[in-house]
Amino acid sequence: EKMTPWMGALTDNLEVLNQNVEGGSWGRAATQDLLSSRIKIHSLNFMRGRTFQNKYLIIDEAQNLTAKQMKTLITRAGPGTKVVCLGNISQIDTPYLTETTSGLTYVVDRFKPWPHGGHVTLQRGERSRLAEFASEVL
């Protein structure tokens, strides 16, 4: 419950995914149970010393993290762990970061030569026409 304020984006997306589940209410309930028992939210403040083994580590809103914070998180990956960093550098809202100093930009740049890494840039927004227009003009 302490993490509830930080779970808004995740729960919004899970609701969208859960609406499209085949199998009616049983399918939605089974999907919700699976998602709630498999997904765990952790605060950045408590990552030091941890090791995640055989997990998918999703770092959301990575554009608002520093290079050191990204290093702290990515170096928690143990054997079998995959790390996915999500973010949009045009949505940086941390006052001391810019598009060039963001930890997300840093990680993308540093991982370019590594053959086990990859980078995908989405070409359009998925929220709405309004959100996409606001992103362009504001």
Q: Cα dist. 72→7, 14, 48, 89, 128 in Å? A: 21, 27, 7, 20, 34
pLDDT at 136: 82
CA angle 132, 136, 138 (to 5 degrees): 110
pLDDT at 53 over 90: yes
pTM of the model: 0.79
- Residue with the bigger pLDDT between 1 and 47: it is 47
Given pLDDT bands bounded at 50, 70 and 90, which one contains residue 2?
A: low
pLDDT value, residue 6 = 65
Residue type, 12: D
CB 131 within 8 A of CB 125: yes
pLDDT category at 23 given cuts 50, 70, 90 is low
- The residue with tokens 């919004």 is 12
Half-sphere exposure of 121 (CA within 13 A, CB side): 6
The domains of the chain are located at 1-41, 50-137
